[in-house]
Amino acid sequence: MSQTKLNLDQSKIDRARALSKEITQPVNAYIKQHTTVAIERATLRMLGADGVTPDDVPVPNAIVNALGSDIQYGASKYYINALIRKNLSVEQLNAEIAKGLDIAKLELTDMSLIQEKAKELVAGFSHRVKGNVAYRTSKISEHKEKENAPLLYLIVATGNIYEDVQQAQAAARQGADVIAVIRTTGQSLLDFVPYGATTEGFGGTYATQENFKIMRKALDETGNEIGKYIRLVNYCSGLCMPEIAAMGAIERLDMMLNDSMYGVLFRDINMYRTFVDQKFSRMINAFAEITINSGEDNYLTTSDAYEKAYTVTASQFINEQFAYDSGLPAKLMGLGHAFEMDPKIENGFLYEMAQAQMARELFPEAPLKYMPPTKYMTGDIFKGYIMNAMFNFIAKSTNQGILLLGMLTEAIHTPFMQDRFLAVENARYILNNTKDFANDIEFKKGGIMQTRAQNVLDETIEFMENINEKGLFDSIEQKMFAEVSRPKHGGKGFDGVHEKAAEYFNPVYDYLELELGLKN
């Protein structure tokens, strides 16, 4: 563990981790027995399924729709069978399916032939993704990326991917290390991924594989121009979580917002559906070495940041365990938290620093994702600039990993260019002037910050004991996170969950389990 400033009790930290294992165990048992339409579509994509029908139905959706309840056996079995039966290439079969071929009606060939062909297709996917990982690693090494400083994260979201490119390249030249393309409003509720480049979004830009490809190319060009590897982020959440993970792996995205709890609480995605989806999506992200960002910070938009800080810490522990269970190492866990206390609170800055330092000490290897003030951001630009400066100071002095820059035009998805520039300048000034501050200070023994952190850890354990007693799904239903209640069998997407048959076949899932060391 890294050097402690908060004097946290290691036995309590160990207890919290033990509880997170107990909490996640029954959820994992359910996950193991089920698949979803999104998992099957993602698998098809990784095997090569692509394209769209004349009615704009993506080919993976057309396949899964035609199979109906037979996806309990694994959609890839039928797709690979069609390749063999029709003696077609992947591209040719995709075209035939787009024209109306129903592969569900083809007689199944010998399973050994399907397994042999599956190995070939999985190897093609694996080669592409491993090549992406190698390229990213080489570029980061080539540009001698800075160490011990948070990555500066800026957003674009015009609705038009080509305009996004201009905005993203400008942000990169201004100093951003990470560019996040916010999805169009409501895309997380779509049970399909739109096809091709898009130019009309609402509060964001559609996440499509072609859009990923366009933005990746643009950021690579700008990165080479300025001598820095620019990371690309999108939103791997909602009803198409595994598919977007697959697309990101193929097109070399670097970070993905990836959190089932966020989808359940803030998008009313069915909890059974999204936890099953999350496991596979995180396996894909782990294999592609994509950093996930989780959404605990959102809890503080509906809960009080001072009173309910323990819910964030508890969720971080639980998210960590789910990530480990998916083969995701700590170095790829961008666990979320935020600077969201009411500015009127006396000593609020000390409480914010205690919370951020506690996250750093509890998760020493994680590239923590630290969110700026939003809930109490003010139209007073001078006060707002000070709030963002205080946030940046805490980020650097507690060694956060991913710094989402605060904007004066908070709540505008594509902020004014000058506000982006000011946000970068604010952060750069503070990061430079406090470069070694974290290594040069100690916290007063028994002082406000130590006491606050120790109390929050105690509250976290008590909260997790309660969750463990009730079960995670019942706890969500009973409004224990973010003051939001979601019914276990309600929400969106539950009809897309299917129990696996004994003969279930998913060659990508099997391959990833072996690669990530998850096979018993």
Please check the confidence at residue 148 and state whether its pLDDT lies above 70: no
Contacts of 59 (CB under 8 A, 6+ apart): 44, 49, 50, 51, 52, 53, 94, 97, 98
The gap from C-alpha 141 to its chain's centroid, in whole angstroms, comes to: 24
What are 426's two structure tokens?
């604010």
CATH number of 1-32+294-388+424-489: 3.20.20.440
Q: Could you give the CA distance from residue 520 to residue 518 in angstroms, rounded to a whole number?
A: 6
Q: Which of 297, 310, 325, 509 is catalytic?
A: 297
Q: What percent of the chain has pLDDT over 90?
A: 94
Q: Which of 449, 363, 366, 357 is nearest to 402 (CA)?
A: 366
Catalytic site residue from 5, 369, 396, 492: 369
Buried (b) or exposed (e) across 392-416, using 16+ Cβ within 10 A? bbbbbbbbbbbbbbbbbbbeebbbe
Identify residue 152 by its one-letter amino acid code: L
* Closest of 422, 346, 334 to residue 386, by C-alpha: 422
Active-site entry in 262, 272, 299, 376:
262
User: Do the Cβ atoms of 26 and 471 come closer than 8 Å?
Assistant: yes
Q: Please write the tens of the pLDDT for every residue from 362-411.
A: 999 999 999 999 999 998 999 999 999 999 999 999 999 999 999 988 77
Which tens digits make up the pLDDT trace of 113-143? 999 999 999 999 999 999 999 999 999 999 8
Distance CA 446, CA 165 (A): 50
Which of 170, 146, 154 has its CA nearest to residue 228? Answer: 146
Does residue 297 have an active-site annotation? yes
- The pLDDT mean for the chain works out to 95
In the chain, the N- to C-terminal Cα span, in Å, equals 28
Name the pairing type of β-strands 34-36 and 497-499: antiparallel
Distance CA 362, CA 359 (A): 5
User: What phi-psi label fits residue 485: left (phi over 0), alpha (psi between -120 and 50 degrees) or beta?
Assistant: beta
The predicted model gives 427-455 an average pLDDT of 96
**Domain map of the chain by residue range?**
1-32+294-388+424-489
Provide the residue count of the chain: 520
Average pLDDT score over residue span 479-505: 96
Residues 6+ apart with CB under 8 A from 517: 327
Q: What is the pTM of this model?
A: 0.96
**pLDDT above 90 (res 333):** yes
CA dihedral sign, ordered 138, 253, 54, 93: positive
Q: In the predicted model, what is the mean pLDDT of residues 327-351?
A: 97
pLDDT value at residue 1: 41
Angle at 29 between CA 497 and CA 490, to 5 degrees: 40
The residue assigned the tokens 């009127």 is: 344
